[in-house]
Amino acid sequence: MSFFKKIFSKEKKEKLDEGLEKSKTDFFGKLSKAVAGKSKVDESVLDDLEEILVSSDVGVATTIKIIDRIEERVARDKYLGTEELNLILREEIAGLLSESENGELESLELPEGKKPYVIMVVGVNGVGKTTTIGKLANQYKLKGKKVVLGAGDTFRAAAVDQLQIWADRVGVSIVKQKMGSDPASVAFDTVQSAIKQEADVVILDTAGRLHNKVNLMNELSKIKRVMQKVTPDVPDEVLLVLDGSTGQNAFEQAKQFTAATEVTALAITKLDGTAKGGVVIGISDQFKIPVKYIGVGEGVEDLQIFNKYEFVDSFFSNKS
């Protein structure tokens, strides 16, 4: 199929391959055992494949879709050898994701006439929210954009300090207040400061406490209302950061946050340290929200713009 034309640079693709190594090793280890001694894709192989996909955190709903597609292909082609299964998986999963309302995004392109472009970043503590903000700020800075960070997580000890370290490292300005300040006040000051500085991008951190849905909704709604006193129709983007290494828990967090606020994009982090990379396939399929970024390493450049075809190509290329 034409899905797999190369889009990424060689270096970026190698980093993606490397970042997914644990997930690939785990997946292909299980798949090799399942097809050992079998020459064709039959009901037994499909049952095993279903179990492997679910255990790889692809998710039950998405796994059923994938198995249905492969069953249709087996029925159509009459005979499929197990040696073809890898290519079939790549093609059918890429085909499935291409049908979802989850188009590719030119993630760092800013709309004309929108200045500053305000990104509100949400997610629970520990998912890599602050690191994602720092890496994203660096990518915009490298594109020649003026960036202002807002330290809106005023409740967690050291959250403001961590964001300050990133601001210093990347070389962008930061707006902050003392611990325990009203996050909406920080958001107001950040947008106001960005307008004065004629900044291109605002990236606002928010508290990562595990709220109940009502409290979370109220707090995020207040932040939006207060920012809109400075400039209308912000935030332009609400980016939910999820920890890919938590597998199915990432699905649950996505459900909670999408119920509490209008999330417009997703970033899935920490894929390099886990065998749960299949979660990206499930989340990309299940939520009608684009996966915009994935984290595949510790380096400042290792937050990659997500491309579903490159991801599937890397995940199912069994070169190791």
In this predicted model, what pLDDT tens digit does every residue of 50-95 receive, in sequence order? 999 999 999 999 999 999 999 999 888 877 888 888 888 999 998 8
In this predicted model, what pLDDT tens digit does every residue of 192-208 receive, in sequence order? 999 999 999 999 999 98
What SS3 class is residue 306?
coil
**pLDDT (mean) for 212-221:** 86
Burial (Cβ within 10 Å: 0-12, 13-18, ≥19) of residue 50: middle
For the chain, give the mean pLDDT.
Answer: 90
The CA-atom distances, in angstroms, between 319 and each of 28, 36, 37, 307, 313 are: 10, 18, 21, 20, 11
Share of residues in the chain with pLDDT > 90 (%): 62
Best CA proximity match to 174, nearest among 157, 153, 143: 153
In this predicted model, what pLDDT tens digit does every residue of 127-184 receive, in sequence order? 999 999 999 999 999 999 999 999 999 988 789 999 999 999 999 999 999 999 999 9
Q: So what's the pLDDT on residue 320?
A: 46
**pLDDT (mean) for 8-35:** 89
- The answer to whether the CB of 268 falls within 8 A of the CB of 295 is yes
Q: So what's the pLDDT on residue 6?
A: 61
In this predicted model, what pLDDT tens digit does every residue of 247-275 receive, in sequence order? 989 999 998 898 889 999 999 999 998 88
Q: So what's the pLDDT on residue 1?
A: 46
The DSSP line for 93-147 is HHHHHHHSS-----TTPPPTT--SEEEEEE--TTSSHHHHHHHHHHHHHHTT--E
Confidence category of residue 238, pLDDT binned at 50, 70, 90: very high
Q: Does residue 101 surpass a pLDDT of 70?
A: no
> For strand 265-269 and strand 237-243, is the pairing parallel, antiparallel, or unpaired?
parallel
- The answer to whether the CB of 98 falls within 8 A of the CB of 308 is yes
DSSP-derived letter for residue 294 is E
Q: Does residue 209 surpass a pLDDT of 60?
A: yes
Confidence category of residue 301, pLDDT binned at 50, 70, 90: confident
